[in-house]
């Protein structure tokens, strides 16, 4: 009977998944995100449009037959523009968020584990960068270099890694004095093994939760830069540049140039935040169960 009871006990991964699945808000966020991904990456196959050549004879048409969301001031189909712009926003945001999380996680883990002068020097760099407003840094860098997808990814990641670095550094400080790390050092294990085989795997829950927020922030940074005119050169588009282009037409009632990209930004950011909250609760459940065992 004892063996059957142990076999029936779900593992940590299954408990985490069950906790996440039980969070309706997190599931809603995941479904919204999947729908937006399908809309941006599969939508152009269903609703193909020309997003390269302008057609001023079709400019500023209200939503109707042939153009469900109307057209832009240059004659682009707004629905197709929303799909292509969303693809850029999501690609840059996801790549920048992941890159910032990976670099910041390793940086913080190294600083926290080794401590001493290395930690002091590395964290002073982080503190100095955090003292400067992120948007100011982004604007300065974006005006120096020519915007492109790789450049935007690197520019946004260059300011977004600071938060995960400080977060993981705190986790590393709490983990470095555990008994299993002392045993590993006595057996001849080095710092690299400690960081990549012990510190980072034990901080994976914190990292995953933070990654969702970093991606959401990166998507907002893309919108900020594009709204300020530091977006990819035409005919490329993203949701921020669409907002910037449409803002001049609000006084004449062209709502279809503003609401769709604005709503898309709100939905994708809210979806990532809901997923992050769900992951945080799910990993909290796993840690509580670990503490009871």
Answer whether 129's CB lies under 8 Å from 216's CB. no
Is 21:27 a contact under the CB 8 Å cutoff?
Answer: yes
Q: Residue 82 in contact with residue 68, Cβ under 8 Å? A: no
Query: What pTM does this model have?
Result: 0.83
Per-residue tokens: 70: 């109307």
Between CA 59 and CA 74 the distance in angstroms is 5
Query: Is the preceding omega at residue 67 within 30 degrees of 0, hence cis?
Result: no
For the chain, the first-to-last Cα distance in angstroms comes to 19
- pLDDT, tens digit only, all 293 positions of the chain: 444 444 444 566 677 777 777 888 889 999 999 999 999 999 999 989 888 888 888 888 889 888 899 898 888 999 999 999 999 999 999 999 999 999 999 999 898 888 889 889 999 999 888 888 888 888 887 778 777 888 889 888 988 899 899 989 888 888 877 777 777 777 777 777 778 877 888 888 888 888 998 999 889 888 888 887 777 887 888 898 888 888 888 778 888 888 999 999 999 999 999 998 888 877 765 445 444 44
Query: What count of residues does the chain have?
Result: 293
CA distances (Å), origin 257, targets 14, 71, 121, 241, 262: 45, 8, 48, 11, 9
């Amino acid at each position: 009977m004892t063996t059957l009871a142990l076999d029936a006990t779900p593992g940590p991964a299954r408990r985490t998944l069950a906790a996440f699945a039980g969070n309706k808000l997190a599931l809603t966020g995941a479904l919204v995100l999947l729908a937006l991904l399908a809309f941006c990456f599969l939508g152009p196959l269903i609703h193909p449009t020309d997003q390269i050549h302008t057609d001023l004879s079709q400019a500023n048409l209200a939503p109707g037959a042939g153009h469900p969301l109307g057209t832009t001031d240059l004659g682009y189909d707004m629905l197709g523009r929303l799909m292509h712009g969303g693809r850029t926003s999501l690609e840059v945001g996801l790549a920048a968020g992941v890159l910032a999380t990976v670099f910041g996680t390793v940086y913080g883990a190294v600083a926290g584990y080794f401590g001493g002068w290395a930690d002091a020097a590395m964290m002073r760099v982080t503190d100095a960068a955090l003292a400067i407003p992120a948007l100011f840094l982004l604007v300065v860098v974006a005006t120096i270099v020519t915007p492109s997808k790789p450049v935007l990814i690197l520019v946004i990641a260059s300011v977004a890694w600071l938060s995960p670095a400080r977060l993981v550094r705190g986790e590393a400080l709490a983990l470095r004095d555990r008994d299993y790390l002392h045993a590993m050092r006595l057996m001849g294990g080095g710092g690299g093994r400690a960081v990549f085989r012990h510190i980072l795997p034990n901080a994976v829950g914190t990292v995953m939760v933070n990654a969702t927020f970093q991606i959401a922030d990166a998507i907002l940074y893309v919108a900020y830069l594009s709204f300020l005119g530091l977006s990819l050169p035409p005919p490329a588009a993203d949701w921020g540049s669409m907002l910037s282009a449409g803002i001049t037409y609000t006084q004449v009632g062209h709502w279809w140039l503003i609401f769709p990209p604005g709503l898309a930004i709100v939905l994708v950011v809210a979806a990532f935040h809901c997923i992050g909250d769900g992951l945080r609760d799910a990993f909290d459940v796993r840690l509580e169960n670990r503490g009871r065992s």
